[in-house]
Structure 1
Amino acid sequence: MSGANRIQAEGVIKNIIREIVQECASRGEGVSETLVAFIIKSIVLEPQNDFQVDRVLASEDVQRLIDLCVKRLLDSKSASLDTIKMQVYFDMNYTTRDEFLTEHRRVLQSRLQPILREITDNRSTTKEELESLYRKIVSSVLLRSGLGSPTDISVVREATAALQSVFPQTELGNFLNLSKRDKDRQLVELTQIVTGIRLFNKECGKGGEGIDNLPAILNEAIPATLKEIQQQTDDAIDSSEKLISVLDAMNALQHKQLSKETPRKRIQESMINSRQLELYLKILSNDVKQSAREVEELLQQFKFRLEQLKTTIQNKTAVPTAQVYPQFMHLASIWFGFQDEMVLLSVLSNILYSLEPYTLNTKELLADDAVRKCLNRIT
């Protein structure tokens, strides 16, 4: 296909997608363009539909394609459509750990930009302006660290005290003279140090306002999530095995259907649906198990760093900043690792529970009288 023809074909496909979306919407079914594109591809490639993929579609072929797609998209009993929807959903929402976290950090950074810009572009000179700038720095530290709300007075008071111990307001003059890049770097460092101080103080029973016990939450949530995934996996395996048994029985008896509502094709599609779900559950399970390993390692590092800090600070009225600041920063870094695992677990849990609606037709088929009778005869 030439370049011009390819561009023309792409334009035709876009129009077809829009028409299908609109037609489905007019019939009360909302569908995404991604799903429609997936359905178009599958229908065009099915030999029985006799579409010529190497040439531009004639107008009658376009209408036939639209009709076939709409019919398939409106088939509320189709496990095959459920499987395609499941695939589209998973492809659109699942990615690797690193990509999840990169996107999360990008979103967090974009949310921080307004206040960071206010700080780094600041040209304060009066006492009131400098006090306002300092409060903004405290807020930015809290927002970046995720340790409590910047609208909670007790949290702000605690964070301000920690910041003042490492960056008193008298340092603002020097800060304002820095380049934007150096200001950004110092704000990151201050966040890490203040976060480390607050975490250490919490461990010593001297603070910790607004700081959730992430290790405890994760140690409870991860096993619970794994248990749920395993239960759903067992159910999916059980479903596919039952449907395979039914298909084997039908083959032995040379039956094309168990009843009018349960033809062989419907049973095959439901079996594939269960297998697809099983595959995705395995992926989620592996990711959650990876999180469990990460949390275990982070917890060991966290405990070790706390002990090191206690040893460094214990019974000393003054400790060189070169000794203690890097330790506070490392403590914060470990905690941010816990936060990452919380984000990942939340995303994976959302995906897990979002897969269930795509299995309802398969569950309905397994409850069908003809299927149950067949299974009873087999067992």
Structure 2
Amino acid sequence: MSRSQSETVIKNIFREIEQQCAQRGNPASETLVAFMVKTVVLDPRNGFNVDRKLTDQDVQKLQQMCVDKLMEECSPSLDTIKMQVYFDMNYPSRREFMEESQREQRSRLSSVSREITDSRVTTREELEALYSKIITYILLRSGLGDHTSSSTVREATAALQSVFPQVELGAFMSLMRKDKEQQLSELSMIVTGIRLFNKLSKKEEEEVHLKELMPPAHNGALPATVEEELSAARRLAWKYTALLEKLMDQDAGSAELHVPAALLKQALYNVRQHEALLKVIMADAGFCGRQVEMLQTEFTAQLQLLKETMQLSKAAIPTAKVFPLFKALSQLRSGLQDEVGLLSVLDNTVTTLRTFIASQSQLFSEASLDSLLEGSEVKTDQQRMATSSGECIDPVKMAAHKWLFPETTMNFNELPLQYNGVCGYALVKRDGLLLPGNPHIGILKHKEKLYVFSSKEVAVKFASRADDFIAEVAERAKRSPELIQLLKLHQQFACVTPYSEMRSGGSLLVKPGSNKCDSGTQTELHPVETHIDRSYEWNEWELRRKAIKLANLRTQMTHATQTDRSHRRRDNVTQVYLPKDAACQTKRDGQSGMPRPLVYLAGLRGQRSGRVIKTDLTTSMDE
């Protein structure tokens, strides 16, 4: 069967399972159906052979088994898989959320922006209508107030007229479309900044307005809620672990407790998966909270700077000085809106995840767990790690294997651990029990992967037969498919991809195998001698300029050269004007300096009949 035919068969299987689930009143998503089909095929207890073609009987059996699993009620295992599918398909990363938010804003404003940039107005009424559209665009983009409210429209109109009066629409219409969009963006930020400043300019209502204009940041409630649910999930995980250990104890058999161990393990996997997802949300919520605090501080500081600038200046303030302040104020509030939007998504995710832990809480209430654990010690993960903190692998005795220790390894706490930090030996030898590994005992590096263990003795046993234990972990994951995502075993299952990469019919049930081997290549440091071309130009326009300069014939003339081949083939005659003799006469400038005559007369005042004395003060030529 060709690949296209196989994909058609698989699509039909998926479609039939979806229809049967919908008919029973429990619709399932394409991703959930695809993962369930793959896990059923992988489970060796079901007897499917992936190396041969599926018969009609096999297809009917596969469909029936998948539908039965998807229709199970009060199943912690199914709820865990649904939780994993929901989280992977709906939980956005920070970058994805910001990109999606910007994409939604552009999509929401595209129609209004296109009407503004593509309009061709000729009358006064059309100019007024265009100006109203610009105001609508600014209100929709800022999200500050209701754009249908008359008071909000008047406020935005007054702010826009102060920076962009209606008479400037003619110059705006003459711009290119890209320049129009850029000017619209700048006008929106400036007008939003002006409106924010105007709302906060009243001193008696300053604090009230500041709280109203800043988007609500949940007042730190989300991190506290996640922390509370995370603590509850950890307590349940510790109790389930203690109860499973009690069941496995030889002194207390399962007949005395009358508790199915399989359901206990499914409940343990369910709460451990919930705990892992809450840790991710907790980290993102904490980062968002810090970003909100930082942006609120910058918003307040920017607002104070703007107020001081307006108060100190008695005359008109240059636009080059005040417009950047308004734009910065608007950008800070936009950043706050994005952060608060992401916090809202995280809050909704936390609320939805609660629905996926309902089955285990119905099967095992916390009161019933306490009664079953009466007289038993419930150890926390920290207590278990503290018990083995004094143990450490001796690298000299275990020289056949490579071990990593915190004293000799950089970024020790950030290493990517296999099985999500769970002890693989306990998972195999203790019938699927999840015990946290202690990295300080020593991290085993086996085939470029890192493994941790719950004790020194366990680490030595695992290292002696590492490949066998790894294979047994994979076999156990086939029987409990929720472990594939919980322990991050996608690399060990070539046929199972992460949920976010799944699409209905996008891949075969089992991907074709591939042979892999380790290889290495060594090259010289500098196989080619360094050569720097000083005349190299990376700018295409500079190369064009040089080419035009070389090919510029407007101010050039043609030159002829006679060679051996062209000798005596053509007579060339040139007529010129003979040069003539020419002369000119110039003058010569000369100069001299003479003393200035100076005479002083004494006795001209105060005497009726006196003698006037004349004194010559002229400087001599010799001096």
> Shorter-chain TM-score: which interval?
over 0.9
2:247 pairs with 1:250 = yes
The residue that corresponds to 2:328 in the other structure is 330
Partner of residue 102 from structure 2, selected from 93, 101, 105: 105
2:55 pairs with 1:61 = no
Percentage of pairs with the same residue: 46
Q: How does 1:318-357 map to 2 (within 5 A)?
A: 318-357=316-355
The residue that corresponds to 1:189 in the other structure is 186
The residue that corresponds to 2:3 in the other structure is 6
Q: Size of the alignment, in residue pairs?
A: 372
The residue that corresponds to 1:376 in the other structure is 374
The residue that corresponds to 1:70 in the other structure is 67
Against the structure 1 CA distance between its residues 318 and 278, is the aligned structure 2 distance closer, same or farther, given a 3 Å change threshold?
A: same
Q: Which amino acid aligns with 2:2?
A: N
Partner of residue 41 from structure 1, selected from 38, 43, 60: 38
The answer as to whether partners of 1:149 and 1:210 remain within 8 angstroms in 2 is no
Partner of residue 135 from structure 2, selected from 138, 143, 148: 138
2:244 match: secondary structure: helix
Partner of residue 232 from structure 1, selected from 229, 234, 240: 229
Deviates more, 1:240-249 or 1:38-47: 38-47
Shift of 1:145: 0.8
Q: Distance in 2 between matches of 1:372 and 1:283?
A: 29
Q: Distance in 2 between matches of 1:151 and 1:225?
A: 32
Q: Which deviations, in whole Å up to 9, do the C-alpha atoms of 1:38-82 show, x marking residues without a partner?
A: 211221121212222344322211111111111111101110000
Q: Distance in 2 between matches of 1:281 and 1:257?
A: 35
Q: Distance in 1 between matches of 2:38 and 2:349?
A: 25
Structure 2 stretches of 5 or more lacking a match?
378-623
Q: Distance in 1 between matches of 2:216 and 2:45?
A: 54
Deviates more, 1:64-73 or 1:246-255: 246-255
Q: Distance in 1 between matches of 2:107 and 2:361?
A: 43
1:236 match: secondary structure: helix
Q: Distance in 2 between matches of 1:9 and 1:240?
A: 42
Shift of 1:312: 2.0
Against the structure 1 CA distance between its residues 244 and 257, is the aligned structure 2 distance closer, same or farther, given a 3 Å change threshold?
A: farther
Q: Distance in 1 between matches of 2:138 and 2:188?
A: 5
The answer as to whether partners of 2:196 and 2:213 remain within 8 angstroms in 1 is no
Shift of 1:9: 2.1
Against the structure 1 CA distance between its residues 42 and 240, is the aligned structure 2 distance closer, same or farther, given a 3 Å change threshold?
A: same
The answer as to whether partners of 1:365 and 1:371 remain within 8 angstroms in 2 is no
Partner of residue 362 from structure 2, selected from 340, 348, 364: 364
Shift of 1:124: 1.1
2:278 pairs with 1:281 = yes
Shift of 1:159: 0.6
Q: Which has the larger helix fraction? A: 1
Q: Distance in 2 between matches of 1:58 and 1:202?
A: 73
The residue that corresponds to 1:201 in the other structure is 198
The answer as to whether partners of 1:83 and 1:276 remain within 8 angstroms in 2 is yes
Q: How does 1:167-186 map to 2 (within 5 A)?
A: 167-186=164-183
The residue that corresponds to 2:216 in the other structure is 217
Shift of 1:188: 0.4
Q: Which runs of 4+ in 1 moved over 4 A?
A: 206-212, 368-372
Deviates more, 1:207-216 or 1:178-187: 207-216
Q: Which amino acid aligns with 1:322?
A: A
1:217 match: secondary structure: coil
Larger RCO: Structure 1 or Structure 2 (Cα < 8 Å, ≥ 6 residues apart)? 1
Q: Which deviations, in whole Å up to 9, do the C-alpha atoms of 1:219-266 show, x marking residues without a partner?
A: xx151111111111111111111111111111013427943xx42111
Deviates more, 1:221-230 or 1:344-353: 221-230
The answer as to whether partners of 2:200 and 2:210 remain within 8 angstroms in 1 is no
Q: Which amino acid aligns with 1:192?
A: M
Structure 1 stretches of 5 or more lacking a match?
none
The answer as to whether partners of 1:9 and 1:56 remain within 8 angstroms in 2 is no
The answer as to whether partners of 2:215 and 2:336 remain within 8 angstroms in 1 is no
Cα RMSD, aligned residues only: 2.2
Partner of residue 93 from structure 1, selected from 87, 90, 98: 90
The answer as to whether partners of 2:98 and 2:338 remain within 8 angstroms in 1 is yes
Shift of 1:344: 0.4
Against the structure 1 CA distance between its residues 368 and 288, is the aligned structure 2 distance closer, same or farther, given a 3 Å change threshold?
A: closer
Q: Which deviations, in whole Å up to 9, do the C-alpha atoms of 1:171-212 show, x marking residues without a partner?
A: 111111111111110110000100111111122129999997
Q: Which amino acid aligns with 2:107?
A: S
Q: Distance in 2 between matches of 1:226 and 1:52?
A: 48
The answer as to whether partners of 2:18 and 2:33 remain within 8 angstroms in 1 is yes
The answer as to whether partners of 1:193 and 1:325 remain within 8 angstroms in 2 is yes
Q: Which amino acid aligns with 1:164?
A: Q
Shift of 1:117: 0.9
Shift of 1:300: 2.1
Shift of 1:377: 4.5
Q: Which amino acid aligns with 2:216?
A: I
The answer as to whether partners of 1:79 and 1:362 remain within 8 angstroms in 2 is yes
2:119 match: secondary structure: coil
**TM-score scaled to structure 2, two decimals?**
0.57
The residue that corresponds to 2:449 in the other structure is none
Q: Which has the larger radius of gyration?
A: 2
Q: Which amino acid aligns with 1:352?
A: V
Against the structure 1 CA distance between its residues 373 and 300, is the aligned structure 2 distance closer, same or farther, given a 3 Å change threshold?
A: closer
Q: Which amino acid aligns with 1:313?
A: M
Shift of 1:373: 3.6
Q: Which amino acid aligns with 1:119?
A: I
Q: Distance in 2 between matches of 1:141 and 1:211?
A: 21
Deviates more, 1:369-378 or 1:26-35: 369-378
The answer as to whether partners of 2:199 and 2:209 remain within 8 angstroms in 1 is no
